[in-house]
Amino acid sequence: MVNINQAALETNFIRLKEAVLARRPVLGEILKINGKKSVFDFVSGYIAKKQKPLNIQRQKDLIAVVKEETTKRLGEAVADSVARQLQDYYYVSTTDHFGPIYHPWVFNFNLVASAVYLEDNNPVLENVITLACANVSLNNFSFPRGFAFHSDVTGKSNYHRFSFLPSNSHSYPVYGFRGYHSDEIEKVKVCLKEALNKGNIRVGEAEKMMMILQEVYGCSDLLSEKYYSDQISKTNFQLWNKVIPAVNNKKINFVYLEQEWIVASLLIKHHLSEKTTISRILYDDTSEELLMKYFAGLPESFSRREHIGTYLFWAQPKIQKSPHRLRLWKEGNFLVSEDGSYKVELTPQALRLALESKELIPSVLLTFITLCFYYGLGCLGGLGQINYLPRLKEAYIKMQADLGHTESIQAIENIETKNLGGEITVAFISSKINGTAPATLFDFLLNYNQDIWPTAVAQMHQLTLEEAIVPMFPEDYPMTYPLAEREPDLLAVGPKEITTIMHLDQKIKPCVSM
């Protein structure tokens, strides 16, 4: 006899899948074609494959900027390696929100990418390159202001988060935010001791985390960095070296840069004072009308009438006391905030100064027009990006066609915009009472042993793409439906229930057991 509650749960699970995929149609296409493939086979089908743009000069210009910024943070050897890789493997991930690389959704995908590169005999493939979005608030759900790990002192797994930055900073964007100070590292240590004294974490976890804070985050050269983002680029690189083992003397570098700063640097070097497609978008009198004509109503675009988005840049004035970014609109030859408190002239000199100071932040639309559509860079994305980027590409091609810019169309026609770069889970941590949960990078670090990496790689080969994505639908559902549209029956379906319904409790082998 069928349990009525179980039958209702399974029905609601099916409805939850349908609801999420209705808002994620590209993911639905991917799962229909590739859902039964192993995660490893799926990802290796499009990374570690040669990708070259048609416009080689533009590629050289972008690689030069990425190399320069990598050199500043990680040294010449890593920068040379990145430049070599991008010559033939011209893609990066643009999935992540800039912050410590711990969140399971991006940590897991980067584990898979590392495994694919380590299994490949090509010595050029030795960098997982991420141009992360730093135009997110420090209080974003991805918790860019700190780190997190699981502990099960009571037998039940609890998720503990620790912040490097003070509570009054949470509404500021990561982009342009100051570096953390030594006293803030000391405050994290105090919080760890308090958690230990309350019996919330184990002695070994506290000791190892204290060591990481001292050896990685507390180095004097890091504490002298001006920006938080530069500190995180360096610390993420170091942490990745601790997690991913070398295979046959091959080591994987984790290269983590701000996508907005790469765009700003490209604008400064090649567009503010030159006649290009990008400079026409910045300066021409008809540019606002054209952008509205082709991009109106699309995700990550803008609408002055509806107060949505911003015109090409957000502003974060240095003299402003409020943490909130200002949306800008074009008025004559100026970009002006809605309240009139800030304006910048659309001239090479004014834009250069505002970009160099990080007072202007390139919008998502301008970022992808620059990186993907102008420079032809392949951009692996999360579930949101793989839905909106194809639509932005289509609009951009229509705009260039009407302008008669056939060269611009040819440069991007073959660029793939639907390749997934995150929200795949293969590495799990388990507790005695409440089963498995997606593991964070810090779960790996605090519980590291020689079996963790082989277990993770085995799971990449054993779990199918569908099995690695669908259990996170309960977290994605509230992100795709506003509060008024959410159904209680669907909210009641959690990852644990999905794991049981999909019979994954017998298939998942945790990398970490607490």
- DSSP structure string for 236-289: HHHHHHHHSPPBTTB--EEEEEEHHHHHHHHHHHHTTTS-SHHHHHHH-TTHHH
Positive or negative, the CA dihedral 211, 213, 216, 221 is negative
CA gap 63, 416 in Å, rounded = 19
What's phi and psi for 167, nearest 5 deg? -65, -30
* Secondary structure class of 202 (helix, strand, coil): coil
- pLDDT for 414 equals 87
- pLDDT for 409 equals 86
Spatial contact of 313 and 361, defined as CB atoms under 8 Å apart:
yes
* Secondary structure class of 13 (helix, strand, coil): helix
The pTM score is 0.96
CA gap 498, 238 in Å, rounded = 35
- pLDDT for 4 equals 53
CA gap 286, 289 in Å, rounded = 5
Instruction: Provide block-wise average pLDDT over 10 residues at a time, the chain (514 residues).
Output: 74 98 98 98 94 92 99 98 98 97 93 97 96 96 95 85 93 96 98 96 97 96 97 98 93 98 99 96 89 90 89 90 88 95 97 98 98 97 96 94 85 91 95 87 96 98 98 96 97 94 94 90
CA gap 465, 41 in Å, rounded = 9
Apex 104 CA angle, 16 and 211, nearest 5: 155
CA gap 483, 467 in Å, rounded = 27
* Secondary structure class of 43 (helix, strand, coil): helix
- At 460, which helix (H) or strand (E)? helix 452-462
- pLDDT for 316 equals 95
Spatial contact of 124 and 48, defined as CB atoms under 8 Å apart:
no
Spatial contact of 311 and 302, defined as CB atoms under 8 Å apart:
yes
- pLDDT for 13 equals 97
- pLDDT for 225 equals 97
